[in-house]
Amino acid sequence: MNSPRKILWAALCFCIVFGAVQAIAEELDPKTLTKYIDPLPVPGAMPMAGPNYYEIGAWQIQQQLHSQLPMTTVWGYGPTAATASYPAATIEAVRGVPIDILWTNHLPTTHLFEYAIDPTIMKAYTTTGVPITAHVHGNEVEPQSDGGPHTWFTPGFAEKGSDWKHMVYHYVNTQLPTTLWYHDHAFGFTRHNVYAGLAGYYIIRDPGNEPAGLPSGPYEIPIVIQDKMFTEDGQLWYPNEGETPEHPIWVPEFFGDAIIVNGKVWPYLNVEPRKYRFRLLNGANARFFSLALADRISGAPGPAFYQIGSDGGYLAEPVMLNDPNDPHSPRLVMAPAERCDVIIDFSAYAPGSELILRNTGKAPFPNGEAADPQTVGQIMLFKVVPLTAPDESVIPSTLVPVERLSNPVRTRTMTLNEVAGISGPLEAMLNGLHFDASETEQPTLGTTEMWEVVNMTGDAHPIHIHLVQFQLLNRQRYNVRRYEMAFDAANPEMGETYNPVDVTPYLKGKPVPADPNERGWKDTFRMNPGEVTRILMRFAPQDESPAFAFDATAEPGYVWHCHILEHEENDMMRPYHLVAPAPLAGSQSQSAADRAGTGTTGVTLLRAPQPNPTAAGATFRFSLRAPGTVELDLYNVAGQRVRRIANSGFGAGEHAVPWNGTDDAGRTLEAGVYFVNLRADGVSASRKLLVTP
């Protein structure tokens, strides 16, 4: 924590060196604020300017964030300055009903945190005001309306980023019903613009096609949790004292000392003894939250959480967290940008009961400093009041079937890297590459890929991929030191080129399946240190439609990045484009079976196993150019053969050989990474196979 003396000195140095003129007050001690004296605000619906059409601007406004603070200058979205708020009103969308939004910029010329903008970090350079661009996080949206970092614009569209395409953004809303959110994404300004208040909910509903009986109306409440810092005059403070001389102002992560929920510091919410649905969002810059309820007086565990949904929609069935009868019950852990849809039943609590939502997440997560129980260890208070109407809502035993992705056509090894300086981190990167290095990911439209994300840093990172919802497969430990040596040898000069290093030889132990509440659709995933996190992505509509309702291969493409905003902007973000499938060569002479991908190809090859990953066997397909003997074997990562699949003659053409999931001794194969190897016609070919528990 920076002392007030250091804050004043840092601000003075910035004013001298970079010409800023903003006066900075001393830092407020958050313990001087009385907790739980302000009611929780609940954002209303964003008003339309016309049928399925919105006009939403970014404005500088004054808002009281705590009864003991004066009005605070913040930034908010809204149709006008008078209607703008922090957080913004909720955009209520209906599945299958497109909407258009004209985003406009009405911010002042000087940034609210001008003193904290580090000129050594890449950013948009403007002369006509603060740049902004709105990104609907988790939305299936055309590239031109995605709100990527270079689509920024200044007030009046006087200056525009290199990827700016049009003023009105189009959202098709064809994906599954879920909780999304929108926030600023301007190049080099995201961490400051979101911190200033530019964020709001975007909820997609599918009337008649969602689970029946869930709490609704006044019993369905969005809750966005953030951490902030204040000066003694009640204004937001963002630190401006860096850790390295190379970046004198940039901080590697922002961790505030006060908690704000829906725009109020440590608020309370009156709840009746009934079930409530809370759409939780971690809107913090860098802080992870580990959440559970506890009795305010006794500290006894509060009611359980029943998670019914995550980033991309409903889970297949509710998952109980924070079971008060089980001290080992998992807590609800939320990384920045994650959403968790939960039901909490307060029916066992008499009016007058009070429950505190507590946080035990460390910062940085998971091995950093413990949350101060007097400040960031407390989130908000729930006060139980008398019941006003019978509770007819339910916690369903099942929700919505979740299709499981499988059979990736490609596996990519991706890395999370941190470059260390003498006194602190210099930058964070993906695949050891700067954001502006040549593009390395160009998935084919309609295909499924598996990304093995190797976290080579000491902290957890929430990785977000624009456009698609994806699924967590598993996590697995690896030998960090040995892999780092191999990576460094293959990439002696990080930054501009990336030579992937297969992590398979360095894996340790067995893969750990996704936690039950992580087995739905996600657009942001926690990548733990010392682990490989495997995710499956299908670059197609979430509902298996034949194609997107827009050209997803268009410019400017998309990005994937860490959602710790300070990491994203130095330099943990990378671009990617989707490419259309290549037309089949020689289609005039191909048979119908060949064009369908099932005929003889004229070459000997081994196709990808199906399904892959698998928990109970697979089918191995291969084609032969000419008749001959085929040896088909399964090997473990140590190079030991565990099962002979085939050793006999086959004719020319396509073949499929089933495997029942056992080794040569008839035992079920343990979970892990394996390789199927084909030897035939002078060809030796291998494919990776992942066996899950």
Whats the size of the chain, residue-wise?
693
Q: What is the pLDDT of residues 336-366, one digit of tens each?
A: 999 999 999 999 999 999 999 999 999 999 9
User: For 115-120, what is the mean pLDDT?
Assistant: 95
Considering only CA atoms, which of 670, 662, 656, 573 is closest in space to residue 621?
A: 656
Considering only CA atoms, which of 6, 481, 445, 46 is closest in space to residue 251?
A: 6
Average pLDDT score, the chain: 92
| Model pTM score | 0.88
**Per-residue confidence band for 16, with pLDDT thresholds at 50, 70 and 90:** very low
Task: Evaluate if residue 595 carries a pLDDT over 80.
Answer: no
User: For 164-181, what is the mean pLDDT?
Assistant: 97
Burial of 162 (0-12, 13-18, 19+ CB in 10 A): exposed
**Per-residue confidence band for 602, with pLDDT thresholds at 50, 70 and 90:** very low
Helices (H), 491-622: 565-568, 592-595
Q: What is the pLDDT of residues 246-283, one digit of tens each?
A: 999 999 999 999 999 999 999 999 999 999 999 999 99
pLDDT in the model for residue 294: 98
Q: Is the dihedral of CA 14, 256, 184, 424 positive or negative?
A: positive
pLDDT in the model for residue 679: 86
- CB atoms inside a 10 Å sphere around CB 61: 18
Q: What is the pLDDT of residues 476-526, one digit of tens each?
A: 999 999 999 999 999 998 888 999 999 999 999 999 999 999 999 999 999
**Per-residue confidence band for 545, with pLDDT thresholds at 50, 70 and 90:** confident
Asked if 613 and 406 count as a contact pair (C-beta separation under 8 A), the reply is: yes
Assign a CATH topology to domain 218-384. Immunoglobulin-like (2.60.40)
Sheet strand arrangement including 134-137: 88-94, 199-205, 178-184, 134-137
Cα separation, 357 vs 220, in Å, equals 17
Assign a CATH topology to domain 4-210. Immunoglobulin-like (2.60.40)
**Per-residue confidence band for 603, with pLDDT thresholds at 50, 70 and 90:** low
Sheet strand arrangement including 470-478: 425-430, 410-420, 448-455, 531-538, 470-478, 507-513
The verdict on domain 410-576 having CATH code 3.30.420.40 is: no
Q: Give first-to-last CA distance, the chain, whole Å.
A: 44
Cα separation, 93 vs 179, in Å, equals 10
pLDDT in the model for residue 583: 66
pLDDT in the model for residue 685: 73
Task: Evaluate if residue 2 carries a pLDDT over 80.
Answer: no
Sheet strand arrangement including 653-659: 605-606, 618-624, 653-659
Domains 4-210 and 593-691 alike in fold? yes
Q: What is the pLDDT of residues 462-471, one digit of tens each?
A: 999 999 999 9
User: For 71-83, what is the mean pLDDT?
Assistant: 98
pLDDT in the model for residue 608: 76
Task: Name the helix (H) or strand (E) containing 227.
Answer: strand 220-228
DSSP letters, 442-492, are: -PBTT-EEEEEEEE-SSS-EEEEESS--EEEEEEEEE-HHHHHHHHHHH-S
pLDDT in the model for residue 633: 93
Q: What is the pLDDT of residues 88-105, one digit of tens each?
A: 999 999 999 999 999 999
The verdict on domain 593-691 having CATH code 2.60.40.1930 is: yes
Task: Evaluate if residue 586 carries a pLDDT over 90.
Answer: no
Asked if 89 and 55 count as a contact pair (C-beta separation under 8 A), the reply is: no
- CB atoms inside a 10 Å sphere around CB 395: 19
pLDDT in the model for residue 409: 94
* Range scoring the smallest mean pLDDT among 167-176, 429-438, 670-679: 670-679
Asked if 227 and 256 count as a contact pair (C-beta separation under 8 A), the reply is: yes
User: For 424-452, what is the mean pLDDT?
Assistant: 95
- Determine phi and psi for 16, rounding to 5 degrees: -70, -45
Cα separation, 352 vs 273, in Å, equals 10
Cis peptide before 327 (omega within 30 of 0): no
CA R_g for the chain: 26
Task: Evaluate if residue 4 carries a pLDDT over 60.
Answer: no
Residues paired with residue 508 on neighbouring β-strands, in sequence order: 477
Q: Which residue has the higher pLDDT, 189 or 677?
A: 189
- pLDDT-above-70 percentage for the chain: 93
Task: Evaluate if residue 600 carries a pLDDT over 60.
Answer: no
- pLDDT-above-90 percentage for the chain: 84
Task: Name the helix (H) or strand (E) containing 196.
Answer: helix 190-196
Task: Evaluate if residue 624 carries a pLDDT over 50.
Answer: yes
Q: What is the pLDDT of residues 289-307, one digit of tens each?
A: 999 999 999 999 999 999 9
pLDDT in the model for residue 599: 34
**Per-residue confidence band for 585, with pLDDT thresholds at 50, 70 and 90:** very low
**Per-residue confidence band for 601, with pLDDT thresholds at 50, 70 and 90:** very low
pLDDT in the model for residue 505: 97
The domain locations on the chain are: 4-210, 218-384, 410-576, 593-691
Q: For residue 542, how many C-alpha atoms fall within 13 Å in the half-sphere facing its CB?
A: 28
pLDDT in the model for residue 612: 82
Q: What is the pLDDT of residues 635-649, one digit of tens each?
A: 886 778 999 999 999
Contacts of 408 (CB under 8 A, 6+ apart): 447, 448, 449, 450, 536, 608, 612
Cα separation, 498 vs 277, in Å, equals 45
Cα separation, 306 vs 322, in Å, equals 9
Considering only CA atoms, which of 304, 417, 302 is closest in space to residue 356?
A: 302
225's torsion region: left (phi>0), alpha (psi -120 to 50) or beta? beta
